[in-house]
Amino acid sequence: MSKLFSLDGRMALVTGGSRGIGRMIAAGLLRQGATVYISARKAEACDAAAAELSAIGPCHSLPADVGTPAGIAALAAAFAARESRLDILVNNAGAAWGAPFDEFPEKGWDKVVDLNLKTPFFLTQALHGLLKAGAAAQPAKVINIASIDGQTVNPLETYSYAASKAGLIHLTKRMALRLVEDGIVVNALCPGAFASEMNRAARDEADAVAARIPARRIGVDDDMAGAAIYLASRAGDYVVGTTLTVDGGVNLVR
């Protein structure tokens, strides 16, 4: 049974891995035996996080701005220069934007949709060959990090964020159908309230947020790591094109 969740010898790349949910997932993959590369836009923060995570297992920093085509190409090239295969890709890098309906700017659409929706597709495309190489021994995995805001309506006016995450959930299904032909299994995770820079309410007002969650708490690191490990490991090999919601039940009461 322990082998079901083992990631020994597996090679992983986590975007947005220097903090928040990406870092939670990176730490979990490391604890299960994977070698993990993390990417983030700010090189200093990425390097520092990788150095800290290296106390758990082999973790390497590959700074890149994956919100641009050039950044995607640079990250794919940097990874390919170091490894001959990729077993686990976690498309976590994301952005949010909130503004009243009458004031919501176009740049609040372009930045968010490019990073949250286009980047997971084009980064996976750029790493397709390495993922196929990883799938030679056992299924390679792509995990797209969506959000419960793509499933149910958040009262906040985050129009482009909600739309991009809903789109990512559906994109996951379309990608899954194509890539399973190559031995690459694609799924999505929808986190609820986890303390992070993006979810400052969960970070700074945890008790108030927890009161609105059926589980009566916000998510902790192991909740997110456990879900990602399940999808990344042998245990998740037959789960294809699915969205796993990790939210303490809040979707049920929105």
Residue 243: which domain range?
2-252
Which of left, alpha, beta for 246 (phi over 0: left; psi -120 to 50: alpha)? beta
Confidence of residue 120 (pLDDT cuts 50, 70, 90): very high
CATH number of residue 102's parent domain = 3.40.50.720
Dig out the tokens for 229 from the structure: 């490990």
Instruction: Give the mean model confidence (pLDDT) for residues 217-240.
Output: 97
What are the pLDDT digits (tens) for 50-104?
Answer: 999 999 999 999 999 999 999 999 999 999 999 999 999 999 999 999 999 999 9
Spatial distance between the Cα atoms of 97 and 105, rounded to a whole number of angstroms? 9
> Nearest CA to 146 among 165, 164, 172?
165
Does the pTM exceed 0.85? yes
Catalytic residue ranges? 161
What are the pLDDT digits (tens) for 236-245?
Answer: 999 999 999 9
CB 59 within 8 A of CB 30: yes
Confidence of residue 205 (pLDDT cuts 50, 70, 90): confident
Give the total number of structural domains in the chain: 1
Dig out the tokens for 55 from the structure: 């106390």
Q: Are strands 88-91 and 59-61 parallel, antiparallel or unpaired?
A: unpaired
